[in-house]
Amino acid sequence: MTPQAAMFAETVLRVRDLGKEYRLYSSPRQRLKAVLTGRSTHRSHWALREVSFDLQRGQCIGIVGDNGAGKSSLLKLLAGTLRPTTGSIERIGRVTAILELGAGFHPEFSGRDNLYFGGSMIGISREEMVRLEPEIIEFSGLAEAIDRPVKTYSSGMAVRLAFALVTAVQPDVLIVDEALAVGDQQFQKKCIDRITAFREAGCTILFCSHSPYHVRTLCDQALWLEHGRMREFGDTEAVLGAYETHSRQREAPVEVAEAAAPPPLPYERGPTSALIVSCELSNLREGNPGLLDSRDLVATITVRGKGDERPNIGFMIEQARGVGITSLATHEEGAAPVYLGDRTWRSVLTFPELPLHSGDYVISVFLFDESGLVTYDLWFKFLTFRFLSPKLMPGLVRLPHHWS
């Protein structure tokens, strides 16, 4: 085994039979009684039960599950802010949690002062902080504002400083709870770059997200929690596939396509923001929904990028009231958008002989950064079109096939 392989095989997190019980008292009076007398009349709610897994150095694991499945409890237990009711957690090395940023800053003190104080709370000594300080201030982009009281900061500034602080030291285990939505587009990108760099340096990452896209792109293992128990743990694609099938079945009776609100854009918009400029379908007739008057589906997508960075474009077709059919992205296929000058880029996506059966279809367009990790903009289900297939057989899609 090479030294590097040996390093990667090291277990940095060992979780055995982890359980967390919340005791629900009918009133705080009962709680006091429980402390005073040791007898209590509480109901038990097990947020987590019998969870066991090992994580090796350098692994990235995504945690998925419905609301209330115990994801947050698990992350808090691993981070150490909650105490487990049963079981054990063995952690090796430095564990950093990005759970909620900016908690514990004192508004009357300057950013710099809060930096030193906040550092001591996460185990960064004064001497170490003197060394780290310039880099943290640089990363946060606060410049002179660092010497102003934190009460004068915008929420974005405070969060930027907090992120720069907690990630100033490379951890052995990084716990991220959907905190990728930090600040503006540019800072969000810096955050993801930093997390990716940690990962490449051998840091183990636990990542909890509602975005299957991000879990798929970032994680090589996934853990699916259901009612506080481990439903599946293994390769991302297998676990996510099973989870998505489960979610669809559960939601099937409701008209999901109608009910689903577009996911909110996770950042603040500014005049220099990257955005989708237009998406036009060729040969689309007027109407509601418009009829696609062609055998081919040709989408021309124009976007505005960020600086001179080359953006990536994603495209998704779904049944108007039903399931997703296909998602495509330029970075997945090495198909770079064409530069038109003035930060404008264009991709033309063609589906020759659109292999769909007749029906109404809805499309979404995504704009990503160069790495494909940051979603700069999205037009979610913004256009529905009708397609009449020349073949009148029932079904959804004509798969590649041959008879013999």
Residues that bind another protein (CB under 8 A): 22-23, 28-29, 31-32, 34-36, 38, 79-83, 85, 95, 97, 99-100, 103-104, 106, 108-109, 117, 120-122, 125
At 203, phi and psi to the nearest 5?
-80, 140
| Vertex 143 angle, CA 101 and 120, to 5° | 45
For residues 317 and 304, give the distance between their C-alpha atoms in angstroms, rounded to a whole number.
Answer: 22
Structure tokens at 144: 């002179």
Q: Which residues pair with 184 in a beta bridge?
A: 268
CB closer to another protein out of 85 and 247: 85
Structure tokens at 336: 């770079």
| Vertex 196 angle, CA 195 and 201, to 5° | 95
For residues 163 and 187, give the distance between their C-alpha atoms in angstroms, rounded to a whole number.
Answer: 10
- Write down the least CB distance from residue 108 to another protein, Å: 4
CB closer to another protein out of 98 and 378: 98
- Write down the least CB distance from residue 40 to another protein, Å: 9
Among 399, 253, 380, 250, residue whose Cα is nearest residue 317:
380
Residue 236 CB partners (closer than 8 Å, separation 6+): 62, 215, 216, 219, 220, 221, 222
CB closer to another protein out of 161 and 279: 161
Give the pairing of strands 375-387 and 290-291.
parallel
Whether the Cβ atoms of residue 385 and residue 363 lie closer than 8 Å to each other: yes
The 8-class DSSP code of residue 194 comes to H
CB closer to another protein out of 113 and 370: 113
CB closer to another protein out of 149 and 372: 149
Coil, helix or strand for 213?
helix
Among 264, 259, 180, residue whose Cα is nearest residue 214:
180
CB closer to another protein out of 36 and 261: 36
CB closer to another protein out of 125 and 283: 125
Tokens 């090395």, located at residue: 93
- Write down the least CB distance from residue 20 to another protein, Å: 9
